[in-house]
Amino acid sequence: MSEHDDTSKTLGPNTQLVRAGHDPFAYHGFVNPPVVHASTVLFPDAATMEKHGQPYTYATRGTPTSDALCNAINELEGSAGTILVPSGLAAVTIAFLAYLSPGDHALVVDSVYGNVRHFCDSMLARFGVEVDYYDPSIGAGIEAHFKANTRLVHTESPGSNSFEVQDIKAIAEVAHRHGAIVTMDNTWATPLYFKPLDFGVDVSIQASTKYPAGHADILMGTISANAKHWKRLKQANGALGICGAPEDAYQVLRGLRTMGVRLDRHQASALEIATWLEGRSDVARVLYPALPSFPGHDIWKRDFKGASGVFSFVLAVADGQDFKRKAQAFLDGLSLFGLGYSWGGFTSLALEVDLSDRRILSALKEGPVIRLQIGFEDVADLKADLETGFERARQA
Ligand SMILES: Cc1ncc(COP(=O)(O)O)c(C=O)c1O
């Protein structure tokens, strides 16, 4: 848990990534911070203990390792304070627990990460919080969904698996007029490609599991609040006792140093493959905000500085063909693309997306939706692998 005091940002994004969060001369000149394994922190005397008169008091409240990462995230997000939690999912659920109370109403985007929907429909419902799902393309029209007890609007842009781009600024303006807090899951873009707080978001959430960690070996989440909402987040963190582990915090900070160059590569390869897919007759359409043909492209172009390496496409299916068989044949034809969840690592991944839990989505029914995470393999090899998948799908 860490608060941020320096909000002046003049450095470029990659310079920021290299320097953020740790001053080597605060620790004997070593370039990286120490991995502090701790529960107990000793006080020199009873008076200091009585008034908690030193920077660290107990490891659930922060260590030099967790602070190095939180400070780095604060610099990137422009936030007043950040907390670390053990997964990206926990980052969303803990933000909801921090700001919602029984009797409140929350508006959650219909294209939200599926496990967040499950949390809303199960635990939030049990705790007496009412949730309505809204159309990701709604923009300022969200006003019609506000009730007297609407306290929170959750955004995720682009949306999970279907990649709808939201007009965050328009939504935040309406939410603030109604006294509601705006949270955003910004995992896809990272603060390098979209800065939520600059668009009116109050609390920015990242699954550091993905691009910040970058190697498919760490689970972690960060929640970063602006000055107005930081105190409540900090209190929730202290009350719940949920914190990030030191080795994981270290690895995420290490990952941040190279995140800019990794994202550049994800983006370049993803764009090349998405464009190639779009030209194929066995693809009905490609869902990637960086493609001019994508319905949310204009908002993406206006608000984002880049596109990351995850997108979906719809496999073309002839009348009467079985979607499931076609999708599975395609996936089983792949060998470089692994079949697995998550994204943001170095290896390419593929899966069939299940959009059946969507309340609003009516499009995308023309064929199975396949999500790809484009890793660091050579694009020519990835295309050849996908070609094999299409050939298998044709035979199915
Ligand atoms: C957009 C988004 N947010 C949050 C998460 C959850 O992250 P984690 O796997 O660390 O719980 C995911 C996971 O896929 C995700 O896609």
pLDDT 10s digits, 194-220 = 999 999 999 999 999 999 999 999 999
Q: Would you state the pLDDT for residue 360? A: 80
Burial class (CB in 10 A: 0-12, 13-18, 19+), 215: middle
Using the mean position of ligand 1's atoms as its centre, give its distance from the Cα of residue 30 in Å.
32
Identify whether residues 108 and 222 lie together within a single domain: yes
Using the mean position of ligand 1's atoms as its centre, give its distance from the Cα of residue 316 in Å.
28
Q: How many CA atoms lie within 13 A of 366 on its CB side?
A: 12
Q: Would you state the pLDDT for residue 362? A: 57
Closest residue (by CA) to atom 8 of ligand 1? 88
Which residue is it, tokens 């920015």?
A: 204
Closest residue (by CA) to atom 13 of ligand 1? 342
Using the mean position of ligand 1's atoms as its centre, give its distance from the Cα of residue 206 in Å.
8
2 in a domain, yes or no?
Answer: no
Identify whether residues 17 and 120 lie together within a single domain: yes
Angle at 252 between CA 52 and CA 15, to 5 degrees: 100
Model confidence at 284: pLDDT above 90? yes
Identify whether residues 73 and 198 lie together within a single domain: yes
Structure-token pair, residue 17: 């990534």
Identify whether residues 285 and 245 lie together within a single domain: no
Distance between CA atoms of 146 and 182, rounded to whole angstroms?
13
Identify whether residues 73 and 186 lie together within a single domain: yes
Using the mean position of ligand 1's atoms as its centre, give its distance from the Cα of residue 349 in Å.
15
Tell which one of 118, 166, 183, 187 to mutate to probe ligand 1, the residue whose CB is within 8 A of the most ligand atoms.
187
Bridge partner list, 204: 184, 224
Question: Is the backbone peptide bond immediately before 55 cis, with ω within 30 degrees of 0?
Answer: no
Least confident of 7-16, 64-73, 168-177, 270-279: 7-16
Q: Would you state the pLDDT for residue 213? A: 98
Identify whether residues 314 and 216 lie together within a single domain: no
Distance between CA atoms of 315 and 313, rounded to whole angstroms?
6
Identify whether residues 369 and 284 lie together within a single domain: yes
Single out the residue in 195, 230, 256 at which a domain terminates. Answer: 256
CATH number for position 83: 3.40.640.10
Identify whether residues 153 and 290 lie together within a single domain: no
Single out the residue in 256, 278, 295 at which a domain terminates. Answer: 256
Between 18 and 3, whose confidence is greater? 18
Atom from ligand 1 closest to the CA of residue 220: 10
CATH number for position 264: 3.90.1150.10
Q: Would you state the pLDDT for residue 240? A: 96
Enter the DSSP assignment of 239.
H
Interval 78-97 mean pLDDT: 98
Q: Would you state the pLDDT for residue 357? A: 84
Number of domains the chain is built from: 2
Tell which one of 111, 204, 210 to mutate to probe ligand 1, the residue whose CB is within 8 A of the most ligand atoms.
210
Identify whether residues 211 and 292 lie together within a single domain: no
Between 344 and 361, whose confidence is greater? 344
- pLDDT digit string, tens, across residues 97-155: 999 999 999 999 999 999 999 999 999 999 999 999 999 999 999 999 999 999 999 99
List Cα–Cα distances, 2 to 23, 29, 204, 230, 325, in angstroms.
15, 22, 15, 10, 50
Model confidence at 7: pLDDT above 50? no
Check if the beta carbon of residue 202 is closer than 8 Å to that of residue 224.
Answer: no
Q: Would you state the pLDDT for residue 9? A: 59
- For ligand 1, residues with CB inside 6 Å are 87-89, 113, 156, 160, 185, 187, 207, 209, 219, 221, 342
Using the mean position of ligand 1's atoms as its centre, give its distance from the Cα of residue 95 in Å.
14
Model confidence at 313: pLDDT above 80? yes
Which residue range is the domain that position 105 belongs to? 10-256
Model confidence at 3: pLDDT above 70? no
Q: Would you state the pLDDT for residue 359? A: 80
Q: What percent of the chain has pLDDT over 70?
A: 97
- Return the amino acid letter for 95: A
Single out the residue in 256, 276, 294 at which a domain terminates. Answer: 256
5 in a domain, yes or no?
Answer: no
Identify whether residues 45 and 192 lie together within a single domain: yes
Q: What is the H or E stretch that residue 134 is in?
A: strand 130-134
Structure-token pair, residue 107: 């508006």
Q: What percent of the chain has pLDDT over 90?
A: 91
Least confident of 191-200, 253-262, 352-361: 352-361
